[in-house]
């Protein structure tokens, strides 16, 4: 059963919309299915190929049993459409917002998932002419002297997912993050090479979702060769080439102008802090270490340490979340890398919407001159990084592990810091960087395939990419 908001010409009066909130309105069933069919016909006329139902998102089962209907009640005022999910639970959407988010094939490309509607041609005072509430969603008819007739359809689940008024609570984390300290050594997250390269990608999803949860993951059983390691890296996505090359092998020969190419100890750091967009996943594989010892790997969960700092020293935490740090890589005559802006980015970067920590950026060796601090901040900043450092090097935070040939270490370089102890002898390590966006994209596609919470209404649509109502678009 669907509802049609009775309107006496134009938009309902306030009284009418109040009445609509208190009484269930009946829909002329055939009107609704007729309007869906009309839109399908209309859209198939515009699209080069017939529009399948899934391209319009979840198309309601209009034959559902009316008794099971818990169709929300909708109402409209000058500015917004209100959806009453239950007496205490409602959402309101601006008319402009609704029109701008129409996902019919002529407003939102069903294949490329790009907006086609010209946002800036939508009258600022646009209002619906009619609303149809049905079991599957809300249909809105737009037509006014300055706009042509248009019909939009919004699945209830999509409207609920994207409610902004009232603001929504934090959406569920795809993967709950597991913060860790030194005790992670008891059972470090590990998958096998066979899992990682197996067809069907379930193992690849397990690997990437493990990195997402812990910030790192070992891959065991990897043939101790550069070729096998490169093949493993490319399971995540294309390798991000930098001044160090694409797939790199390094040893203590200063082949590149960086202390990684020495046998020195390296304190806990994240790589490429001198890039505007530091590399995402970093993979290391110790291929051999002969005639010497040392070179033990250090891992620290930057998100864990940031949570300690926030708890123990909120003022220091606040400074590290605000003060940008300039950095550079200028060990090669042919390169001088500095981020844009050159003042850099704060050590701790938070998502301004969810307030979640999304990146740790810390390499005290690659830090440039702190000449942008106001005088009264200088000492506070040094106190803050001292507190940060003390927590980073705390035995409770440090996880020391000796890499061995055959086990690859994969790290989320926006979260987990790494380092090594000094060493002697001949030590060969290979690996690569993967861009953060490539890693996140691969994980998102796999999550849609393997995690029911992220699946499309119509899994078939997922095979060819998300349908237009997938909540990630």
Which residues are near ligand AKG by CB under 6 A?
260, 266, 271, 284, 297, 418-420, 429
The least distance separating ligand AKG from the CB of residue 295, rounded to whole angstroms, comes to 6
- Residue 331 or 465 with smaller CB distance to ligand M3L: 331
Q: What is the dihedral of CA 460, 465, 470, 473, to 10 degrees?
A: -170
- Residue 159 or 298 with smaller CB distance to ligand AKG: 298
Return the residue of 43, 363, 407, 467 that touches ligand M3L, per CB under 6 A: 363
Query: Is there a contact between 141 and 151 (Cβ–Cβ < 8 Å)?
Result: yes
Determine if 229 is a binding residue for ligand M3L (CB under 6 A): no
Instruction: Name the closest residue to ligand AKG (Cβ).
Output: 260
Site pattern 269..288 for ligand M3L (x: CB under 6 A): x-xx----------------
Determine if 258 is a binding residue for ligand M3L (CB under 6 A): yes
- Residue 244 interacts, among ligand AKG, ligand M3L, none and using kind-specific CB cut-offs from 5 to 8 Å, with ligand M3L
Phi and psi torsions of 278, nearest 5°: -55, 150
Determine if 366 is a binding residue for ligand M3L (CB under 6 A): yes
- Residue 363 interacts, among ligand AKG, ligand M3L, none and using kind-specific CB cut-offs from 5 to 8 Å, with ligand M3L
- Residue 95 or 269 with smaller CB distance to ligand M3L: 269
Determine if 414 is a binding residue for ligand M3L (CB under 6 A): no
Q: How far apart are CA 361 and CA 136, in angstroms?
A: 45
Q: How far apart are CA 85 and CA 72, in angstroms?
A: 5
Q: Within positions 186 to 225, which residues make up the interface with ligand M3L, using CB under 6 A?
A: none
- Residue 219 or 268 with smaller CB distance to ligand M3L: 268
- Residue 366 interacts, among ligand M3L, ligand AKG, none and using kind-specific CB cut-offs from 5 to 8 Å, with ligand M3L
- CA dihedral sign, ordered 247, 253, 254, 255: negative
The least distance separating ligand AKG from the CB of residue 254, rounded to whole angstroms, comes to 13
Query: Is there a contact between 282 and 271 (Cβ–Cβ < 8 Å)?
Result: yes
Return the residue of 205, 216, 250, 454 that touches ligand M3L, per CB under 6 A: 250
- Residue 99 or 269 with smaller CB distance to ligand M3L: 269
Query: How many residues line the site for ligand M3L (CB under 6 A)?
Result: 10
The least distance separating ligand AKG from the CB of residue 359, rounded to whole angstroms, comes to 17
Q: How far apart are CA 344 and CA 326, in angstroms?
A: 4
- Residue 224 or 331 with smaller CB distance to ligand M3L: 331
Determine if 230 is a binding residue for ligand M3L (CB under 6 A): no
Q: How far apart are CA 266 and CA 236, in angstroms?
A: 27
The least distance separating ligand AKG from the CB of residue 163, rounded to whole angstroms, comes to 43
Q: Which stretch binds ligand M3L (CB under 6 A): 15-23, 180-188, 266-274, 289-297?
A: 266-274
The least distance separating ligand M3L from the CB of residue 274, rounded to whole angstroms, comes to 7
The least distance separating ligand AKG from the CB of residue 229, rounded to whole angstroms, comes to 14
- Residue 59 interacts, among ligand M3L, ligand AKG, none and using kind-specific CB cut-offs from 5 to 8 Å, with none
- Residue 272 or 297 with smaller CB distance to ligand M3L: 272
- Residue 36 or 266 with smaller CB distance to ligand AKG: 266
Q: Which residues bind ligand M3L (CB under 6 A)?
A: 244, 248, 250, 258, 260, 269, 271-272, 363, 366
């Amino acid at each position: 059963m669907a509802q049609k908001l009775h309107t006496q010409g134009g938009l309902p009066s306030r009284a009418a919309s109040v009445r609509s909130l208190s009484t269930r309105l009946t829909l002329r069933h055939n009107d609704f299915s007729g309007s869906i069919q009309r839109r399908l016909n209309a859209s198939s006329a515009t699209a080069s190929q017939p529009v399948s139902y899934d391209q319009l998102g979840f198309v309601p089962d209009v034959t559902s049993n009316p008794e099971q209907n818990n169709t929300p009640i909708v109402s409209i005022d000058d500015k917004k459409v209100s959806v009453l999910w239950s007496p205490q639970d409602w959402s309101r959407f601006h008319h402009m917002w609704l029109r701008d988010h129409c996902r019919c094939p002529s407003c939102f490309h069903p294949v490329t998932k790009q907006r086609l509607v010209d946002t800036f041609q939508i009258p600022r005072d646009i209002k619906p002419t009619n609303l149809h509430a049905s079991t599957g969603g809300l249909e809105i008819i737009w037509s006014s002297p300055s706009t042509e007739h248009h019909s939009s359809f919004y699945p209830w689940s999509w409207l609920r997912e994207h409610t902004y008024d009232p603001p929504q609570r934090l959406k569920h984390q795809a993967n709950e993050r597991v913060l860790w300290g030194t005790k992670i050594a008891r059972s470090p997250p590990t998958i096998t090479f066979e899992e990682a390269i197996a067809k069907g990608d379930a193992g690849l999803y397990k690997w990437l979702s493990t990195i997402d949860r812990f910030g790192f993951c070992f891959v065991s059983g990897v043939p101790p060769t550069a070729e096998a390691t490169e093949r493993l890296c490319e399971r995540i996505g294309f390798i991000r080439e930098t001044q160090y090359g694409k797939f790199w092998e390094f040893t203590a020969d200063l082949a590149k102008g960086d202390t990684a190419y020495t046998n020195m100890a390296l304190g806990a750091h994240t790589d490429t802090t001198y890039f505007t967009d530091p590399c995402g996943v970093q993979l290391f594989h110790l291929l051999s270490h002969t005639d010497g010892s040392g070179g033990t790997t250090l891992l620290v969960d930057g998100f864990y340490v940031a949570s300690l700092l926030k708890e123990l020293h909120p003022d220091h935490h606040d400074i590290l979340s605000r003060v940008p740090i300039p950095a550079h890589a200028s060990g090669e005559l042919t390169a001088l890398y500095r981020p844009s802006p050159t003042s850099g980015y704060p050590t701790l970067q938070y998502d301004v919407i969810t307030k979640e920590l999304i990146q740790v950026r810390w390499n005290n060796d690659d830090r440039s001159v702190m000449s942008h601090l106001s005088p009264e901040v200088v000492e506070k900043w040094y106190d803050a990084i001292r507190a940060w450092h003390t927590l980073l090097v705390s035995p409770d935070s440090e996880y020391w592990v000796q890499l061995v040939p055959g086990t690859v270490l994969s790290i989320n370089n926006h979260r987990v810091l790494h380092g090594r102890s000094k060493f002697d002898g001949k030590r060969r390590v290979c690996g690569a960087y993967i861009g953060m966006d490539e890693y996140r994209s691969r994980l998102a596609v796999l999550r849609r395939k393997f995690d029911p919470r992220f699946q499309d209404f119509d899994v078939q649509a997922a095979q060819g990419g998300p349908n237009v109502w997938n909540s990630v678009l």
